[in-house]
Amino acid sequence: MYIMEEYDLIIVGGGCAGYPAAVYASRFNLKTLVIAKEKGGLITTTHLVENYPGFVSLSGQELADNLEAHVKANNVPIENDIVKSIEKEGKYFIVKTDLLEKEYKTKTVILATGTKHRHLDAPGEKEFSGKGVSYCATCDGMFFRNKVVGIVGGSDSAAKEAMVLAQNSSKVYMFIRTYLKAEPINADRIRQNPKIEIIEGVQVKEICGDNLVTHVVLDNGKKVDLSGVFIAIGMLPQNDLANSLGVELDKKGEVVIDRLSRTNVEGVFAAGDNTNSEWKQGIVASAEGSVAAYSAYEHIQRNF
């Protein structure tokens, strides 16, 4: 007879929220499993992290590696897999995965599923994806050495992406719908960089090319010749699992949590960028993950 392995806590997601949750769960002596589609999460695509306390400056990959090493030092297993469903069964939850086709039984769940890149939805974006259109300067910037590129977006993340691109490219255009909204320190760096030109009050209407991107057309009718377009217009929460569980989502599709990372579903907690916390930062996600682990522990103490 097949018997599912049982856990106190299963954490879905292995990033700045999921890994700290695992560390704290181990300190509460909870039998814990981390299931991560992408180890480290989106922080691994960040060129430099300079606002995570305790580290003056390091790459996103280095930060993720440090967090993962901390999890492993606490003997918490990490499965590189995709959770395809979570179903409530009495006081327990049944977690099923896609790649390894495993099933687990758990008393509590923490959803630390993070976000994915928002698309521009302009003509040519889909057609030239991987042929000049990208969503990660750290990943693809080196392919545009000594070439002209553009980045769509005016957030702090977009500013950081522009600085990464400027290290390799000959020129970087920033196409911003409204105005530059980067943190003051990064806004100053952008304005002082001779390779970066800020164009505010415009939208990219179309991405054009032959086999590869050759230019973009702006909504003011202007044509800008370039070889690459990087999209940095925000993120979308990955909350399909939360939605299927009946977890409350706000109008942005983010999980609604309280100060203790609790959702409206007993035994389900959430942490990180997929929640409705206003300030999306690695350190905030880490704090929410640790709080979620505490709340999972308290839930188990009360109900099992």
Residue 183: C-alpha distances to residues 59, 138, 157 (Å): 19, 20, 9
Residues 131 and 212: beta-carbon distance below 8 Å: yes
Angle, CA 256 vertex, CA 250 and CA 260 arms, to 5°: 165
Give DSSP secondary structure letters for 212-281. SEEEEEETTS-EEE-SEEEE-S-EEE--HHHHHTT--B-TTSPBP--TT-B-SSTTEEE-STTBS-S---
- 3 state DSSP class of 51: coil
Residues 18 and 80: beta-carbon distance below 8 Å: no
User: Would you name the residues annotated as active-site residues?
Assistant: 136, 139-140
